[in-house]
Amino acid sequence: MKNKKLTVTIGIPVYNEEKNIIFLLESIFEQKEEGYKIEKILVISDGSSDNTVDVVCQLRNKKISIINGRKRIGKARRFNSLLKKNESDIFIQFDGDVVLKNENTIKNIIKPFLNDPSIAVVNGSVEPIFPVTFVERLSYFGFEIWQESKRVLGNKAERYRSIGQIRAFSREFTKHFYLPRETDHYEDI
């Protein structure tokens, strides 16, 4: 895949992200499509009770498809629905409250796929915005604990970790991957 221009589908499962989704989508539109082409941006609402769907529809961008799931069935099932729709070389999943750091974020996420066709999954790195409120500071504290754990543990900290906010998958991997629903873990109990 070294000199091939990869095709990319972006999937965004959302629940009540009317205040955040526009920032993510704008940061996607600002990406430099070098070495890849964004074919589709699929936004799937998991029964949002706010105006998330309307906010996305107002953008009127031909690459965006909005799927309005009217009933809450959970992020895992919505994610699986998005995977089934993937026909691109790479499927990138973003959470609705993420903003891409710069114009090369997607290029950096797909770089491993360009360099090694056997790569199946790439995780993005998340950096929270510096906290202002008390609740934000509490959340940021958890991030600092994880950062310190990574420093102390080195590669051991990354071994079994898959960041849920930013992930990229090869087409071959998406054909076989299934994210268990939350209840799948408890059916034997």
Lowest mean per-residue pLDDT among 56-60, 85-89, 106-110, 182-186: 182-186
Q: What is the pLDDT of residues 59-102, one digit of tens each?
A: 989 999 999 998 999 888 999 999 999 999 999 999 998 889 89
Beta bridge partners, 113, equal: none
* Better pLDDT: 184 or 134: 134
The token duo for 80 is: 């699986």
Mean pLDDT value across residues 176-181: 76
Instruction: Using alpha carbons only, give the angle 187, 188, 189 rounded to the nearest 5 degrees.
Output: 95
* Better pLDDT: 131 or 23: 23
One DSSP character per residue, the chain reads: -TTS-EEEEEEEEESS-TTTHHHHHHHHHT---SSEEEEEEEEEEES-SSSHHHHHHTT--TTEEEEEE-S---HHHHHHHHHHT--SSEEEEE-TT---SSTTHHHHHHHHHHH-TT--EEEPP--PPPP-SHHHHHHHHHHHHHHHHHHHHGGGGTTT---SSEEEEEHHHHHH--PPPGGGGGTT-
Residue 130: per-residue pLDDT: 67
Q: What is the pLDDT of residues 112-158, one digit of tens each?
A: 998 898 999 888 766 666 667 887 777 766 667 666 666 776 665 55
pTM over 0.85: no
